Each structure stands twice: as structure tokens, then as C-alpha cells.
Amino acid sequence: MTNHDSNGGTTIKHRHRQEGPQKHVIAFIFSIVLTLIAFASVAAGGVNTAFTVLLLLVMAVLQVLVQLGYWMHLKDKGHMIPILFMAGGFFVAGLAIIAALYWMWW
Amino acid sequence: MAHAHTVKRHKGLMDWLTTVDHKKIAILYLVAGALFFGIGGIEALLIRVQLAKPMNDFVTAQQFNELITMHGTTMIFLGVMPIIFALMNAVIPLQIGARDVAFPFLNSLGFWTFLFGGLLLNLSWFIGGAPDAGWTSYTPLSSTEYSLTHGVDFYTIGLQIAGLGTLIGGINFLATIITMRAPGMSYMRMPMFTWTSFVTSAMILFAFPAVTVGLVLLTFDRILGANFFNVSAGGNPVLWQHIFWIFGHPEVYILILPAFGMISEVVSTFSRKRLFGYSSMVFATILIAFLGFMVWAHHMFTTGLGPVANALFSIATMLIAVPTGIKIFNWLFTMWGGQIRFTTPNLFAVGFIPTFVMGGVTGVMLASAPADYQYHDTYFVVAHFHYVIVGGLVLGLFAGLHYWWPKMFGRMLSEKLGKLEFWTFIIGFHMTFFVQHFLGLIGMQRRVFTYLPNQGFDLMNLISTIGAFLMGVGVIVFLINIGITAAKPRNASNDPWEDGRTLEWTIPSPPPEYNFKQIPLVRGLDAFWKEKMAGNKEMTPAEPVGSIHMPSPTILPFIMSVGLFIAGLGFMFTSDDFGNSFMNFIFSNYIVTGIGLAITFGSMLVRSLYDDHGWHIEPSELNEKGVKA
Amino acid sequence: MTTPHAEQATNVLPHEPEKATLEGRNKVLGFWLFLGGEAVLFGTLFATFLTLRNQVADGPSASELFSLPITAAATFILLVSSLTSVFAVQALHRGNRSSLAKWLGITVLLGLAFLVLEIYEFTEYMHEGYSMTTSAFSSAFYTLVGFHGAHVLFGILWISVIIGQLYKKGLTVVTAPKVYVSAMYWHFIDVVWVFIFTVVYLLGKVVG
């Protein structure tokens, strides 16, 4: 072997199970439900604004977790490095957003 | 699997344009970095000539603004970054026992986009005037209202392209260090320079996209008439400051961390001792990187963020002194009790430590928000950041260049000239910048193009100018040293400093194209030193001799970068009147931009459609090429 | 030993062909790193939008401007396309080239539909005299949503090229990482869209 691989190489032989589509269809339905809740809560209106904002953000985060965890396989073994770097990216993005929300206007 | 592909090997200029060999790309980065470093240095000298005496009229105020803007921008983005990348390219694959980087094609692409971005920025001197809003390019000064030439457009688009190259380089080194390490080289056995480069690359990855966005916003404001920073349509100039510094503060740690790594290697080698507190060094590096992202607003204390924000960022900034202090003490303890040899690289390393401490101390002073209201925008700040960037990074780069020069070129630089270079440079450096602390404290503003006599500024400014020329002499001695060395025979041994500790010193200088005939087995930190102590002359191989797969050379990265260059230039001049209907037509309808992008994306398509099968070096060739390379 | 590559892949494809070679693993890892950087890129664009969301000058505000049905349709389309690209990767793991090409093709078509909706939305606003130069809010809106749209366009072109390569070169350890990485890209585009429809459109309606 030319190179030592710390990432992924060893997991190949353990993962010969064939994944069916059911799991992903369930994740998809879950995403659709989350989206529907989000749109419905806005379309309905009249509810407490702060509550709606919180609800929308929770729906968005849950849906992103489905995408990243299930569909982009971040929950699988051997994804430490991708998780680390995605988290880093989201962290710095969060810093920019905090600055934009709290330290821009006075 | 010995299927030989015939591959076209280029000679001469085409070899350099098409190379994907990390060692040659290192040399390209070094040459380009030296070019821009020279331009930035000349700009610095012109600035100091103008400031040598009060009421001087050597340059006009406008020219002065252009000079300081281009000096800062060139030095940060185009001068020291490529020299860091040169050393990373030259050393990291060797230190981790790899035959190449993870993405040789991207490595080449990163270099060429960087180079063409830098050339585009410097083209501004010849067409339309250089940028003049400072290297920070704060709005509204950089808006079309106050900056009338295309200078700032060259800044935004040139840096955009160069920044893309840097980002590509960062991703490449991250992937290389994660996947290409030799068997046995765990993360905690990586040499310190590899570690700091790894962390720096991660910071590049997270910091550069922010400035990408900032530059896009400024470009759109200036060229498309958007309103991000236009107060009359609801925009906010503070947004630029935040975005710039969310990138800009990590950027200065991106610069200094590799220097920390170089110093660690040099100090340890020339003390003949293992680096003291290796794991605390790793921890401190990561902590500095993390804190580096949390302190950007200390550049904005006087903007008016309010006491809560100022207090938070003040404390976070002071915290950085802790991991930095850990590093300083670790270097001192490495030297303590070691058999120290004051070779040129070690002189630079030892000179680095107190100089950098001085820059760090003024940094903690500046971190105190109330005091910063006094220091802000004075020469005290100029003195501070030159102490950390020149006294820190540039001394580190000189240490690294002298240290790895024989590995890169197979020739030892003259020690005599090296020592002369060190003394002229460091004395010149302290002359230039030490007095600037006091200039700032007695009230001299930064970025002023001249000053009135008899305010106590005159003598100190003159001393500063003389010091700057002394630094220039130091750099010229270095160039002479390189010239003389190039004429000598290429006879450096594998381990020319004799006390090499890491894998790069186990292979010929310069290394053959494939670096390692057999990938070595790593049995501990300082892998080569460990073998030496066990009485072995060389590393234990981790594989039998076999045919080696190599990537093919390609011209595509060069063409893609040319495309970006054309597209950038075209976009900049969309609303100009050339007095020529054909020119007006192709620029105002984005035809030039379109052609440029078509070249770039067309090259990408070609790259995707035609697989690179590479070529093989067979074992029979290895034996004959192994020595002379 | 050197790394295995293209030619020997004529017989049987490994279970995860995208990770069968060092080049493939590097490509997947490198793309994850790139996505980390993309997160910062879009994060900064979101920061820009959020800080300028009420700076409408003389122009309309978010709640006056946006129409939820179009956004809901676009969201549904993009969500389905994320599912189809999951099916594509499953076909890849089964080594079924025609199924793979079919799912990629459907993904591309859905991407096109999304893009058509977005272009329709933008031209509507333009007709109402609402452009990039109207206000700081409009600049931020067009830049954020436009950046996402440009990513969708690039994805469509990219995946189309890959479909062509699947027919020309077959499903090999060279083409497999390309499919896998483009699917990652497509999911990431959907992740960004989740935040766009939440932060820009829905929160715009609620708070704006």
C-alpha cells in the first residue's frame, strides 16, 4: 500500500449490507412533514410571532440534520473528519450571523 | 499491473507551465512570492523615503495612498502567502512520507490562479491607477463615490482570483495531510511544521470564503450599483468591517502559524533535542486557531460596537497570549540544555523569539479596548503589526528558507553571507519599527502622507527610513547569496545539517520526482532521529520496490487561470467608454467576461471528460534515477 | 504497490466504488472540506441578508413581495430531487448503471424545474421595477438567492456531463466518485435552500 488511510478505507468491508430505499423514503416523508408544518404555520398566521420564528428554525435544523445525517451519510462510521470540518464551517458561519444580528446597527 | 502509458514529457518553459510535481510548484510559488515580495518591498522603501523628512514632496498624496494600499495588499496576499505555500509544498509531502500531494492538478491550479490574481492586481499600476483605499478597503472610502479610478476594482477582482488559488491550496494540503501520511505516522507523530500547516490550511478553508463574499459585495456595489454599503439606500458600512475582519483576523494567524512550525523544526534540530512539550505545542496551535476566529472585532473597538462587545473581544484577544506563551516557553525549554549550533536558520529562529514576544506584548496592550482608543490608527499599531508579521513571520520564513534550501535545490547557502544577512536585516528591522511605537504614542497618525516639522516626529522618522534601507540591504545580501550558491556544484547530502530529525532528510537533496523509492515505516515522533538513535542509517521501508504511479503534466490549470484573468478584466470595465464602438460593445455586453469564463469552464469540462491515467516509473528506472534525480 | 485505477474495473465493481481507490477517497474527502468552506460562504451571505433584511428604502418589504405558493413549489421540487439523488447513489452501490443514469436524469430535470421557477420569480420582481439597485434589502436578496441559483445551474450542468460519461465510459472506479461527489453537492444545495426558504421567505413573511 502506498498510503496509510485513516478515513473510510477500513470501513468498506464491514458495510456490505444493502440498504433498501424504505429508510430514505421515510426520511423524505419526514422532511416533507417538517416543510409542511413550516409553511402551514406561516400561512395560518395569527400565532405568536416569537413562537413561529422558533418553530421555523427548529423545523429547518431538523430537516438539515436529515439531509446531512442520512442522505449525506454523516451519521455513518468513518466520517469524523467530514463532521469536524462541516461543524467548523457552520461555526464560523454562525459567528458571521451573530455579528450581523447583534453588532451591526446601533 | 505494469501497463506503461506513454506520457508527453515537456522540457524548458513548458515543463514549468504544465508541472504537477509539488517540488516544482514549490519553486514556482517561491519565484512568484519573491517577485511580489520585491514589489511590496520597493513600495515600502518609497513610503519611507516620502516620510524621511517633514513636508516632503517625493510622492503626491494620491500616490502615497496607492503605495500604502498596494504595499499592504501585496505583502499579505501576494508576498508572504506564496512563500509559505512554497515551503509547505516543498516540505510537507516529504515530512509525511508521501510521493505527492492528494490533488496534484489542484495544486497546480491553486498556484496559477494565485499568480494571475496577483498579476491582475498589479496591472492596476499601468491601467487606471492602483487601489487607494488602504489594504482594508473600508467603505465608503472604497465606494465609487470616493474612489474614482478602477483601483478598487482591481483590488476586489484581483484578490478574488488570488484568494480562490489560496483556498484551493488549503483544501489540497488538508486532504494531503489527512490521507497521505506514511504507515505509522499518526497525527501525534507528525512534525510540527506539518501540524501548523494543517491548522493553517483549516483556517484558510474557513476564513477565505468570508472574504470571497465581502469582495463580491463590494464588487457588486461598485460595478452593478448594488447598495450593500450605500447608506442612502439602506446599506451599512460596518457590514464590510465585520466581514473583512472575520476573514482578516484569522488571516494573520494563517500567516504566523506556519512560521511557528518552521521555528519549532529549526530550534529542535539545532539544539539536537526533541521539541519540548510537543503535545502542548499541538494543543496551543489548535487553540490559537480557534481563538483566532473569535477576536475579529478587536479591530473595530473604535467603531462603536458598545461596551459589551468591546469587553468580550478584549478578553478573548488577551486569552491568545496564553497559548502563544506556551509556545514561546516550549522553544526556550527546547534550547535549554541542548547542544545549540548558531547556523543561519537558527540565528533567525533565535532572533524571532524576542522580536515576536515584543509584537505579542504590544498586541495585549492593543487588546485593552479603552487604551486602544488612544492607539487606534497611530504608528503604534503600525509598529505592532510589523513586529508580528516581519519580526515574526518574515524571520520565520528566512529561517525556513535557509533551513530547507539545500533540500529544495541541493546546494547549501553560504553561512557567512547568511549571517551578514541576518544581522543587517534584524538591526534594520528594529531600527525601522522600534521607534514607530513612540511615534505612535506621541501622536503620529498612520496613513498620513506627510507631517509638519518640530512635533518630535522628525528624527524618529529619519531613523526609521535608514532602518528600512538596512533591511533592504539584508534582502539583497540574501539574493547575492542565492546567486553565488546557484553557481556552486549541487552536492548537498541527504542530511546536510547532519542533525535532521524528520523524513525529508532521509532522501536525496533535491529529492527525485517520486520522493521515496519505498515509502518509509514511521516508528515514532522525529522518525529519522529515532532510527539514528537506534543505530540505523536509513528508514525501514514499508513496501517492496515496485512501479510508481505518477500524474501526467497538464497545461489546463494555466489556461483556466488565464480565463479567470480575462473574465475579471472584462467584468471590471463593463461600464467604461473606450471611445471605440467595438470595444464598448464587447465589454458592456459582458462578451469579454463570457469568453474568459468559457475558457475556464471549458477547461474544467475537458479535465472531466479526459481521464488522466498518469504514467509509471518502473523499478529498473528507480535504481538508476534514485541517486542523481 | 501503487493505487489501483481505471483499467482493471471491467469485471466486478466493489460495493462502494467511490471509495475503492485512493483518488476516489481523496475526492470525497476533499469535497467534504470544500463543503465546509461553502458553509462559511453561504453563512456570510445569510449574515449579509439578515442584517439588511429591513433596509428596504423606497422599495417593497419582504412580506409585501414574496408569494408563498411559488416558494412552496420550489421547495417541494428540490426536496424530491434530493431523494432522487439518494436513489442514484443507491443505484451506484448496486452497480446498476441504467438505473443510476435514470435517477440522475430525473434529478437534473427537477433541478431545471426549480431554476425555471426561480427565473420566473426574479423576472416578476423585475417587471414590478424591483431590481438589484432598489435597496440594500434587494441587493442582499438577489445576491443570496442568486448565488444559490447559480449553484443549482452549475449542478445541473455538472450532473449532465456525468450522465454522458456514464454512457461513454461506463460505471467504473473513476466515474463512481464523480457521481457520489455530485450527489453530495446536490444535497448541500438542498441544505442551503432549507435555510433560504426558512430565513428569507417564511421569516420574511412572519417578521418582515
Does the residue C189 lie in any domain? yes
Does the residue C59 lie in any domain? no
Does the residue C62 lie in any domain? no
- Do A70 and A86 lie in one domain? The reply is no
- Do A84 and A44 lie in one domain? The reply is no
What pLDDT, on a 0 to 100 scale, did the predictor assign at position B206? 97
Span B359-372, average pLDDT: 96
Q: Above 50 in pLDDT, residue C10?
A: no
For C30-71, the pLDDT digits (tens) are: 999 999 999 999 999 999 999 999 999 888 888 888 889 999
For B73-117, the pLDDT digits (tens) are: 999 999 999 999 999 999 999 999 999 999 999 999 999 999 999
Does the residue C91 lie in any domain? yes
Q: What is the mean pLDDT of chain A?
A: 82
Does the residue C12 lie in any domain? no
Residue whose C-alpha cell is 441559483: C149
Span B399-428, average pLDDT: 97
What pLDDT, on a 0 to 100 scale, did the predictor assign at position A4? 41
DSSP states of A70-95 as a string?
A: IIS-TTSTT-HHHHHHHHHHHHHHHH
- Do A24 and A70 lie in one domain? The reply is yes
Q: Above 70 in pLDDT, residue B395?
A: yes
Per-position b or e across B393-413, b if 16+ CB within 10 A of its CB:
bbbbbbbbbbbbbbbbbbbbb
- Do A6 and A28 lie in one domain? The reply is yes
CB B375 within 8 A of CB B438: no
- Do A25 and A61 lie in one domain? The reply is yes
What pLDDT, on a 0 to 100 scale, did the predictor assign at position B428? 98
pTM as predicted:
0.94
What pLDDT, on a 0 to 100 scale, did the predictor assign at position B102? 96
Does the residue C80 lie in any domain? yes
Domain range holding C192? 22-53+73-207
- Do A6 and A17 lie in one domain? The reply is yes
Residue A105, amino acid: W
Q: What percent of chain A has pLDDT over 90?
A: 48
Spatial separation of the C-alpha atoms in residues B499 and B271, rounded to whole Å: 9
Domain range holding A82? 77-106
What pLDDT, on a 0 to 100 scale, did the predictor assign at position C63? 83
- Count structural domains, chain C: 1
Measured CA to CA in angstroms, residue A75 lies from A21, A60, A67 at distances of 17, 18, 10
Span B408-422, average pLDDT: 97
- Do A59 and A32 lie in one domain? The reply is yes
- Do A61 and A14 lie in one domain? The reply is yes
pLDDT band with cut points at 50, 70 and 90 for residue A18: low
Span C170-194, average pLDDT: 95
pLDDT band with cut points at 50, 70 and 90 for residue B619: confident
Q: Above 90 in pLDDT, residue B390?
A: yes
Tell whether omega for the bond before B510 is within 30 degrees of 0, i.e. cis: yes
- Do A13 and A42 lie in one domain? The reply is yes
Which of A2, A56, A86 lies nearest to residue C1, judging by beta carbons?
Answer: A2
Return the CATH number at C203: 1.20.120.80
For B139-195, the pLDDT digits (tens) are: 999 999 999 899 999 999 999 999 999 999 999 999 999 999 999 999 999 999 999
Q: From chain A, pick out residues whose CB is under 8 angstroms from the CB of C29.
A: 7-8, 81-82
Enumerate residues 44 to 73 of chain A having a beta carbon within 8 A of any beta carbon in chain C.
49, 52-53, 56-57, 59-60, 63-64, 67-68, 71-72
The sign of the dihedral angle between the CA atoms of C193, C194, C197, C200 is negative
What pLDDT, on a 0 to 100 scale, did the predictor assign at position C58? 83
Enumerate residues 52 to 81 of chain C having a beta carbon within 8 A of any beta carbon in chain A.
68, 72, 75-76, 79-80
B477 vs C129, higher pLDDT: B477
Does the residue C178 lie in any domain? yes
What pLDDT, on a 0 to 100 scale, did the predictor assign at position B624? 53
Q: Above 60 in pLDDT, residue C8?
A: no
The C-alpha cell at B314 is: 478584549
Q: Above 50 in pLDDT, residue B607?
A: yes
- Do A93 and A66 lie in one domain? The reply is no
B543–chain A Cβ distance below 8 A for any pair? yes
- Do A68 and A84 lie in one domain? The reply is no
Residue whose C-alpha cell is 528508514: B539
Enumerate residues 35 to 94 of chain A having a beta carbon within 8 A of any beta carbon in chain B.
81, 85, 88-89, 91-92
For B528-566, the pLDDT digits (tens) are: 999 999 999 889 999 999 999 999 999 999 999 999 999
A97–chain B Cβ distance below 8 A for any pair? no
CB B28 within 8 A of CB B17: no
- Do A70 and A94 lie in one domain? The reply is no
Q: What is the mean pLDDT of chain B?
A: 94
- Count structural domains, chain A: 2
Q: From chain A, pick out residues whose CB is under 8 angstroms from the CB of C46.
A: 93, 96-97, 100
Q: Above 90 in pLDDT, residue C185?
A: yes
